[in-house]
Amino acid sequence: MSLKSIRINNSLLKGIDLPSLWLRERLSGDQFIDPNNLQRLYEPSLLDENLMIDDYSINDNFLRIKFSDGIKGKINIDDLYQEINSIDVIPKKKIWNKSDTLQLFDDNKIFENSHNLTQMLKTFYEYGYVIIENTQAIENEVLSFAEKIGPVRTTNWGKLFNVVSKPNPNDLAYTALELKSHSDNPYRKPVPGIQLLHCIANESIGGDSSLVDGFSVAEYLKKNNKEFYDILTKTNVNFKFTDIDVILENKSKLIELNDDGEFKQISFSGRLDYVPLLEEDKLKTFYRARKCMYELCNSDQFKIKFRLSQGMIAMFDNLRTLHGRTKFDPNTGFRHLQGCYIDHDSTEGKLRRLLK
Ligand code: OGA
Ligand code: ZN
């Protein structure tokens, strides 16, 4: 036989054409793949583009193939199925609103065994946040916690930031003002993926926390106001942070979609956004759409409200989950949070390793 592609007639792969070159790149075995690092030992770009399949058989869930360049090898059919169907071990997102219960975990249990850590990370990827209780309410504890699930991202502020009310702050977070639902640092490239906020003290009156599933808000807009949804997913807004020694800028849509039209990232920060000078009608629509998104993000329909008390950590996906706090009165007691960021790749990679 001499075939350009094959079709496998089993329940997993029936009806799908598998081209010869594509299969050739997927041969397993030490001759093709380094067993230590699972990387390819040859250059796939140099394979013959007219490569044919001379013979093949299926046995014990393996596809065995002889190619026209004389190479023989085998491929696991389950691996093919998972790759073709983009089956990932990272759990699917669960969209939530205020009526969902708070996802709470106990710091004393999470690192007791890999099952508990896996549960915490799975929940984090499903809901876009978790709340950790019973951590030590001491400085730098947020770094000790974060370093266990992924290296901390250092920014121009260093590894961590202190959220305390202080005079002449370089950010409104460091006042006692209310912070409406927002994403952190949308002006960075890339925007920090995971944020942790650790409460060392919260003795003031006020200073309660809230979280909002930005994807839930986006889904609501998609269903209920297509005009607003369209302009929010198409307009690039400039986010800008001005400090003494840096000016950080990054453009993004308030609702960013991936190539498949799925929600990829929410960027919302009314303190820092600069809307482009669109033509009059479009600008009007954009402003109405942003106001609507602001109202939804701050409404009781979407907001989970809770108090981040001493020893608690809020860990959230800063590309999906918005956060905020009510104003507080620093004269009634001390309030001190410490925060840091982690990139998604390391934490997601940790979970993938735990699940495989
Ligand atoms: C921040 C922030 C929330 C809080 O520092 O970015 O949103 O509860 N703080 O103070
Ligand atoms: Zn913030």
Q: How far apart, in whole angstroms, are the C-alpha atoms of residue 265 and residue 344?
A: 13
pLDDT tops 90 at residue 14: no
- Which ligand minimizes its atom distance to the CA of 198? 1
Question: Looking at residues 89-116, what average pLDDT do you find?
Answer: 95
pLDDT tops 90 at residue 103: yes
Q: What is the dihedral of CA 259, 261, 265, 269, to 10 degrees?
A: 120
Question: Looking at residues 139-154, what average pLDDT do you find?
Answer: 97
Which residue among 175, 179, 239, 326 has the greatest number of ligand 1 atoms within 8 angstroms of its CB, and so is best to mutate?
A: 179
The alpha carbon of 212 and the centre of ligand 2 are apart by a number of angstroms equal to: 12
CB 196 within 8 A of CB 227: no
Number of H helices, E strands in the chain: 9, 22
Residues 126 and 75 in one domain: no
- Looking at ligand 1, which atom is closest to the CA of residue 184? 6
Residues 158 and 202 in one domain: yes
118 vs 14, higher pLDDT: 118
Determine the pLDDT at residue 351: 98
Residue 94 falls inside a structural domain: no
The alpha carbon of 164 and the centre of ligand 1 are apart by a number of angstroms equal to: 9
pLDDT band with cut points at 50, 70 and 90 for residue 167: confident
Question: Looking at residues 16-39, what average pLDDT do you find?
Answer: 95
Residue 216, classed as helix, strand or coil, is helix
Pocket of ligand 1, beta carbon within 6 A: 163, 173, 179, 184, 197, 209, 323, 325, 337, 339
Residue owning the nearest CA to atom 8 of ligand 1: 325
250-253's contacts with Cβ under 8 Å and 24+ in sequence apart are: 250/186, 250/187, 250/188, 250/189, 250/191, 252/186, 252/191
Residues 196 and 343 in one domain: yes
Determine the pLDDT at residue 306: 97
The tens digit of pLDDT for each residue in 214-273 reads 999 999 999 999 999 999 999 999 999 999 999 999 999 999 999 999 999 999 999 999
Domain of 123? 104-355
Give me the residues paired with residue 303 across strands: 212
Which residue among 155, 197, 198 has the greatest number of ligand 1 atoms within 8 angstroms of its CB, and so is best to mutate?
A: 197
The alpha carbon of 189 and the centre of ligand 1 are apart by a number of angstroms equal to: 20
Other residues' Cβ atoms within 10 Å of the Cβ of residue 289: 22
pLDDT band with cut points at 50, 70 and 90 for residue 64: very high
CATH code of residue 291? 3.60.130.10
Residues 77 and 10 in one domain: yes
- Looking at ligand 1, which atom is closest to the CA of residue 209? 8
- Looking at ligand 1, which atom is closest to the CA of residue 161? 5
The tens digit of pLDDT for each residue in 275-333 reads 999 999 999 999 999 999 999 999 999 999 999 999 999 999 999 999 999 999 999 99
**Domains of the chain: total:** 2
Residues 116 and 218 in one domain: yes
Determine the pLDDT at residue 320: 98
Determine the pLDDT at residue 57: 94
Mean pLDDT estimate for the chain = 96
Residues 271 and 315 in one domain: yes
CB 164 within 8 A of CB 283: no
Domain boundary (50, 84, 118) is at 84
- Looking at ligand 1, which atom is closest to the CA of residue 174? 5
Residues 129 and 275 in one domain: yes
The alpha carbon of 183 and the centre of ligand 2 are apart by a number of angstroms equal to: 6
pLDDT band with cut points at 50, 70 and 90 for residue 43: very high
The alpha carbon of 125 and the centre of ligand 2 are apart by a number of angstroms equal to: 20
Other residues' Cβ atoms within 10 Å of the Cβ of residue 155: 16
